[in-house]
Amino acid sequence: MSVPAPSVVDMAIARNPHVVLDCPDTTLLAEFYGALLGWAPKLDPDGSWATVSDGQRHLHFQRVDDYRPPQWPGQELPQQFHLDFDVDDLDEGEAGALGLGATKHPHQPGTTFRVYLDPAGHPFCLCQA
């Protein structure tokens, strides 16, 4: 009788991935994403780290003193990743994001999503759900 090979799930050595964004001001970014998602920010007193969470999903922010934002879509300071968020209505989502301090990027390559920059310059998209 042969023993079945372990599945990829059985072989996992880690779980519960977290996303950490570098930024110059952890409080500013945690408050921005906390308001965007409706999640409460948790701020470290020294300002070096902050988190927003709904209890199961987490975004973390790490202070980097010489932070330089990516220059998307150019590659001089390339984007290494970006965040996508589903919204029911792009116009309402845009108004809310801009009201929180996002900037709409001048380059808009699609019609079912819109590209913005958070207060630290990270690109993110609001996507029609």
CA-to-CA distance for 28 and 102, rounded, in angstroms? 11
pLDDT in tens, 45-98: 999 999 999 999 999 999 999 999 988 888 888 877 788 899 999 999 999 999
Please give the tally of structural domains in the chain: 2
If asked whether residues 47 and 20 sit together in one domain, one would say yes
The pLDDT value given to residue 11: 66
| Cα 68 versus chain centre, distance | 16
| Cα 96 versus chain centre, distance | 16
For position 104, which CATH number holds?
A: 3.10.180.10
Element (H, E) at 30: helix 26-37
Last residue of a domain, one of 24, 44, 67: 67
Percent of the chain with pLDDT over 90: 69
Strands of 19-23's sheet in order across: 19-23, 58-63, 49-53, 40-43
If asked whether residues 113 and 128 sit together in one domain, one would say yes
If asked whether residues 128 and 73 sit together in one domain, one would say yes
Backbone torsions φ then ψ of 126, nearest 5 degrees: -100, 125
Read off the pTM.
0.77
Q: Is the pLDDT of residue 12 over 80?
A: no
If asked whether residues 33 and 57 sit together in one domain, one would say yes
Cβ pair 24, 67 in contact under 8 A: yes
If asked whether residues 108 and 125 sit together in one domain, one would say yes
pLDDT band at 99 (very low <50, low <70, confident <90, very high): very high
If asked whether residues 73 and 51 sit together in one domain, one would say no
Question: Which domain range does residue 108 map to?
Answer: 69-129
If asked whether residues 27 and 80 sit together in one domain, one would say no
The pLDDT value given to residue 82: 82
15: Cβ–Cβ under 8 A, 6 or more apart, which residues?
none
